[in-house]
Amino acid sequence: MTSRVKRIAFLMVLVFCLLGFSPLFSLGVSAATSYPLNENDTDSQGIIYALDFESKTALVYSTTETINGSLTIPDNVTKGGVTYTVTEIGEYAFYACQNVTGVTIPQSVSKIQEGAFLLCYDLTSVTIPKSVSFIGDGAFIGCESLTSITVESGNADYSSDISGVLFNKNKTVLLQYPIGNIRKLYSVPSGVTEIGEGAFYLSKILTKVILPTGVTDINSYAFYFCTELISAAIPSSVTSIGSGAFFGCVSLTSVTIPANVKTIGDEAFAGCNALTHITVNSANADYSSDSSGVLYNKSKTVLLQYPTGNTRTHFEIPNGVVTIGLSSFFACEFLTSVTIPGSVTRINEAAYAFCEALSVINIPDSVAVIEMYAFFQTAWYNNRPNGVVYAGKVAYTYKGNMPYNTSITLLDGTKGIAEGAFQLCDRLKSITLPDGIKSIGDGAFYECTGLTSVIIPKSVTDIGELSFYGCTNVVLKVYKGSFAHIFAVNKAINFEIIEVVWSISLGEGSATGIPSDKTLSDIRKKLDNTVTIKDSKGVTVSGDALIGTGCVISYNGNDYTVVIKGDINGDGLVNAKDYLIVKRAYLGSFELSDIQLKSACFENTPAPTTKDYLKIKRHFLGTYNIYE
């Protein structure tokens, strides 16, 4: 399951728990049955099927809204005189079926797909037929009344134990713990090497889980929102802790990361509001901690998790940290101020979200990238005035009600636009980005349907995939060959090329000021139609041939040799060939002619420098314009 689906599941769990539904739902194994289907491929119980005429098989697809009572999935269904064998329960087929009191699974079913019984709160027990060979992730997530899972003897792929826990056949992978069981302590059996994805997801009763030595993998969301879990010591054999593995374990007070752990997924310990300290074994080669109990990567360039149960009110992030990780301070209720050092360049998604008391955040100018919801529901954000909210040099979001036909000019020096900064601002008509801005975050202008024009400077080198998604009326104004130009072409977004303003300077036998990629007609527009041009070999230029360094312009009885900055080989373009020529000249392995020296030396030095060939490289890569 994706993290988005799991979070939705959690919210749904909370809502329905408050409604107090009673445990009436059980799953059994049926004898052979057959039901007819109506014109909507639905049986008399309200189960909807997807039929495959070629294979004569049926998949349990969904249910009607009015479905209720005890259900039996038949071995076969019939429609139009054709019999279909029911072989599969599809993804989310019984999602949040609150009025169903029981479901019986036939021996014909071989697959139970992802989330098949998600949020079926009244499910008390499950029997897996011996015919089932596949059970998808999260098939029984959120079944808070589930007390046992039983696998029929003879099943070749799955097994269960006397505690009603679901395993793979040889009991090396714990797949699903029945979270409705009233026990508070559970010892995972010896021999288990892997705790499956979402295995204990949303357990509200367990206070302690004992993991045996030999467990190597704690997969994503394994203990997600196990709200009463106080202790789950991680054995020394563990090498991997998945994303969100202990997310929302609000009773967990401390964590020790063993030496062998090589990977820790995003948000593994986020939302653990009682967590006061994270300790990493000093022999660990990939992770580290400090005296404040904060989790980092080994080199301490990425702050992965702050222990949000610590009662300190101020925290100063150590100098050297470059990235503040995803949800790293999520829902910390004690912090009121944070100091971020000048080494930090990136603040990831939801880093300080729901830190409601956090009113002072010192954000340095070094921060260039801020992901979505980084400061959501913080006092710092709530205290900002309406309008464009800046976090350091990044345009973070727009606060308040935007007037119709709004035009925004971002401040000079703005380095980037945060993810989702102006999403759904359908009243935004235009925005002006300053020179020097580097990045436009993913979804920055998502569904800004009123946006008609954006001028994107050549300095922009990063644009998120969905930055202009749904901007049906926008025209991007871009420089030819720039990152934004390539982006617009690849994403099929309407664009216009910005013409570089230029003029020809004639004097001392040279014609300068001409940019690359210009033709005879371009020169005549700047001078007049009497102009003739010959290339470096004396051949008269005509048509759409490009004018390059070494060409000679004849005008008003005088001849002028063309010098185009960066066009060393005279083909009228600035590309990798020119870069290599100038670099070789700098290294002493190539001798430039006098006219080539004028083209190559941007600061009129007697010989090329590193700055010269690097400017050429940046120009053809679209990160710099040598003519501006």
178 and 39 in a common domain: yes
430 with 512, same domain?
no
pLDDT per residue as tens digits for the range 325-382: 999 999 999 999 999 999 999 999 999 999 999 999 999 999 999 999 999 999 999 9
Domain end among 497, 518, 539: 497
Q: What is the 3-class SS of 369-413, one letter each residue?
A: EECCCCCCCCHHHHCCCCEEEEECCEEEEEECCCCCCEEEECCCC
The answer on 413 and 518 residing in a single domain is no
Tokens 């009129």 correspond to what residue?
A: 604
Domain termination site, one of 497, 513, 530: 497
Model confidence pLDDT, tens digit, residues 204-256: 999 999 999 999 999 999 999 999 999 999 999 999 999 999 999 999 999 99
CB atoms within 10 A of CB 591: 9
Q: Is the same domain home to 43 and 159?
A: yes
pLDDT of residue 158: 98
| pLDDT of res. 239 | 98
Q: What tokens appear for 348 in the block?
A: 């990831």
Q: In Å, how far are 467, 519, 567 from 616, measured between CA atoms?
A: 29, 21, 9
Asked if the structure places residue 482 within a domain, the reply is yes
Residue 429 lies in a domain: yes
Do 437 and 552 lie in a common domain? no
Residues 60 and 123 placed together within one structural domain of the fold: yes
- Enter the pTM of the model: 0.80
Distance of alpha carbon 568 from its chain centroid, rounded? 42
Q: What percent of the chain has pLDDT over 70?
A: 94
Do 67 and 127 have their domain in common?
Answer: yes
Residues 144 and 166 grouped into a single domain = yes
On whether both 466 and 563 belong to a single domain, the answer is: no
Domain that holds residue 424: 406-497
408, 418 Cβ separation under 8 angstroms: no
Residues 540 and 583 in one domain: yes
Per-residue pLDDT at 567 exceeds 70: yes
Domain count, the chain: 3
Sheet order of strands, 302-305 included: 287-289, 295-297, 302-305, 323-324, 346-347, 369-370
- Cβ neighbour number for residue 558 with a 10 Å cutoff: 10
pLDDT in tens, 198-214: 999 999 999 999 999 99
Could you give the angle at which helices 610-621 and 576-587 cross, rounded to 10 degrees?
170
Does 450 reside within a domain?
yes
Alpha-carbon distance of 441 to 350, in angstroms, equals 15
Residue 628: the pLDDT is 75
Does a structural domain hold residue 279? no
Three-class SS of 266-290: CCCCCCCCCCCEEEECCCCCCEEEC
Q: Same domain, yes or no, for 508 and 493?
A: no
Per-residue pLDDT band at 544 (split at 50, 70, 90): confident
Q: Is residue 381 part of a domain?
A: no
* pLDDT tens, residue by residue, 301-313: 999 999 999 999 9
Predicted confidence at residue 98, as pLDDT, reads 76
**How far apart are the C-alpha atoms of 139 and 131, rounded to whole Å?**
17
For residue 18, what pLDDT is reported? 34
In a domain, 575, yes or no: yes
**30 or 590: which carries more pLDDT confidence?**
590
Of 497, 532, 567, the one marking the end of a domain is: 497
Q: What are phi and psi of 126, to 5 degrees?
A: -135, 135
Residue 222 within any structural domain of the chain: no
Residues 177 and 40 reside in one and the same domain:
yes
CATH number, domain of 156, equals 3.80.10.10
CA-to-CA distance for 576 and 351, rounded, in angstroms? 41
CA distance 551 to 538: 8
Residue 302 within any structural domain of the chain: no
Cα-based angle 21, 26, 27 (whole degrees, multiple of 5):
145
